[in-house]
Chain A
Amino acid sequence: SQQGEEDPQALSIQEGENATMNCSYKTSINNLQWYRQNSGRGLVHLILIRSNEREKHSGRLRVTLDTSKKSSSLLITASRAADTASYFCATAHQGAQKLVFGQGTRLTINP
């Protein structure tokens, strides 16, 4: 299966702390994307990193990609209560017209 794996499955931190989530995948990719989902609603696209990129930033988000290890990480700095959600990585594999999603990390920010 191409499906990625994320860890941890759940993460609980205090407001203001940084949160790091990891994603691993098995086969070569064109790009890797991160999404957020609040309480069973639709997913919101956060950031896309292409296979020839190593790091991208968007506001408080920092994504890294290591294609040699087939892994990515999402860092959320200075977390807020509103960041409480599930976070999913999704991979676009070469020649495939689809995104393959990981199982997600449930992030809880405690006030």
Chain B
Amino acid sequence: KAGVTQTPRYLIKTRGQQVTLSCSPISGHRSVSWYQQTPGQGLQFLFEYFSETQRNKGNFPGRFSGRQFSNSRSEMNVSTLELGDSALYLCASSPTTLAEYGYTFGSGTRLTVV
């Protein structure tokens, strides 16, 4: 079956702009989690959505937001981009919430803010 699809793969944005990243989970998976990966901070949890509801949120400013649609596809949005937002953004899908099963990750979106 198809894996987790993240689009776009690469993105270059200017400070102050906003960006929307998309994630399509594995068919039948209802949980989508988002992570930010940087060399300095490692993998940091952004938020988790299950059945269109945000179940958990990490310690990120309000500029980071997300949503999940009825087909479980998820988007995350970053407004007023800062240089420090440059990172690899990864989404992961799982059948259920509570991290009871292994996550399936997408290939990520590499965001560069200039």
**Complex contact B50–A97 (CB within 8 A):** yes
Task: Identify which of residues 46-65 in chain B touch chain A, using a CB-to-CB cut-off of 8 Å.
Answer: 48, 50, 55-56, 58
Which of B4, B48, B101, B107 has a CB less than 8 Å from the CB of A98?
B48
Q: Is A99's beta carbon under 8 Å from chain B?
A: yes
Q: Which of A11-19, A35-43, A68-76 contacts B (4 or more CB under 8 A)?
A: A35-43
Q: A30-B99, A33-B102 are in contact. Are A99 and B45 (CB under 8 A)?
A: yes
Q: Is B11's beta carbon under 8 Å from chain A?
A: no
- Give the size of the chain A interface in residues (CB under 8 angstroms): 25
Minimum CB–CB distance from A22 to chain B (whole Å) comes to: 16
**What CA separation (Å) do A103 and B41 show in the bound complex?**
8
Q: For A45, list chain B residues within 8 Å (CB).
A: 102-105
Majority SS at the chain A contact face: strand
Q: For A96, list chain B residues within 8 Å (CB).
A: 56, 98-99
**What CA separation (Å) do A106 and B4 show in the bound complex?**
25
**What CA separation (Å) do A43 and B94 show in the bound complex?**
13
Majority SS at the chain B contact face: strand
**Complex contact B90–A43 (CB within 8 A):** yes
Q: Is B22's beta carbon under 8 Å from chain A?
A: no
- Give the size of the chain B interface in residues (CB under 8 angstroms): 30
**Complex contact B105–A44 (CB within 8 A):** yes
Q: A42-B105, A43-B105, A98-B45 are in contact. Are A92 and B90 (CB under 8 A)?
A: no
Q: For B56, list chain A residues within 8 Å (CB).
A: 96-98
Q: Which residue of B lies closest to A3 (CB)?
A: B42
Minimum CB–CB distance from A5 to chain B (whole Å) comes to: 11
Q: Is B83's beta carbon under 8 Å from chain A?
A: no
Q: Is B95's beta carbon under 8 Å from chain A?
A: no
* Pairs of residues from A and B, 6 with the lowest C-beta to C-beta distance, nearest first: A45-B102, A92-B99, A42-B105, A101-B43, A97-B56, A97-B55
B residues whose Cβ falls under 8 Å from a Cβ of A: 4, 6, 31, 33, 35, 37, 42-43, 45, 48, 50, 55-56, 58, 88, 90, 92, 97-108, 110
Known: A30-B100, A43-B105, A45-B103. 5 other contacts (CB 8 A): A40-B110, A42-B107, A43-B92, A45-B102, A45-B105
